[in-house]
Amino acid sequence: MSIVNSIRAQVPPIHPEGYPFIGGFALASLILFWIWTPLGWIGTLLTVWCALFFRDPVRVTPVREGIVVSPADGRVSMVVQALPPAELGLGDRPLPRISIFMSVFNCHVNRAPISGRIDRIAYRPGTFINAELDKASEDNERNSLVISSALGRIGVIQIAGLVARRIVSFVREGQTIGIGERFGLIRFGSRLDVFLPEGTNPLVSEGQTAIAGETILADFKGGDTGRSYRTN
């Protein structure tokens, strides 16, 4: 393998959603270089950060039936019992909820936690308080999905944060999606909540680092053997 190919293999691809932003940062950097060189270097660093933010690496996803994987990169900030938002239609009883906080340094491409049919997509405008706060689940702008599989229904909520101002969805209602496939992204720092069926035991704990499409959050079948994998 050549040196160029070796370097290329270590650099993750950029999601197309990021090209306008990276281009804008790069153009601003050129202008700043013209104004004052140190400002140009600051702009260059911000351009590199923007490119890293929109990275879209390949992930190796376990595909055994019953497994639920993380929809986001980040830190597991909460594992609690909570009432699901009314727009999900998941009932009025507390369900297991796993919250994953994404900082501005995490990859923000979101992936389906299970294979199934997207029964519902519901967007709700709101505020932009710190996504780590528990009340962000109720108050912040969010986009909710309900994915149905043969073993249960899962709610996935993209929540905008203090810096994030745009939730992007790549899917539509009625669409079938595979585990680990991309379904959206949130620009610049945010959180994802996953509501599991009643009685499901989460397999992660608060403070754990999650990797989208790879980290197993739960197992509907209660076992953890016989996995197979695929790349996405």
Residue positions annotated with a catalytic role: 190
For residue 31, count other CB atoms closer than 10 A to its CB.
Answer: 11
Provide φ and ψ at 26, rounded to 5°.
-65, -45
Of 99, 86, 95, the closest CA to residue 159 belongs to: 99
Of 151, 210, 161, 218, the closest CA to residue 186 belongs to: 161
149 bridge partner residues: 152
Residues 46, 26: Cα–Cα separation, whole Å = 9
Q: Which residue has the tokens 């140190």?
A: 38
Residues 85, 96: Cα–Cα separation, whole Å = 13
Q: Residues 152, 220: contact at Cβ < 8 Å?
A: yes
Q: Which residue has the tokens 């702009």?
A: 43
CB-count exposure of residue 10 (10 Å: 0-12, 13-18, 19+): exposed
Consecutive H or E run containing 186: strand 182-186
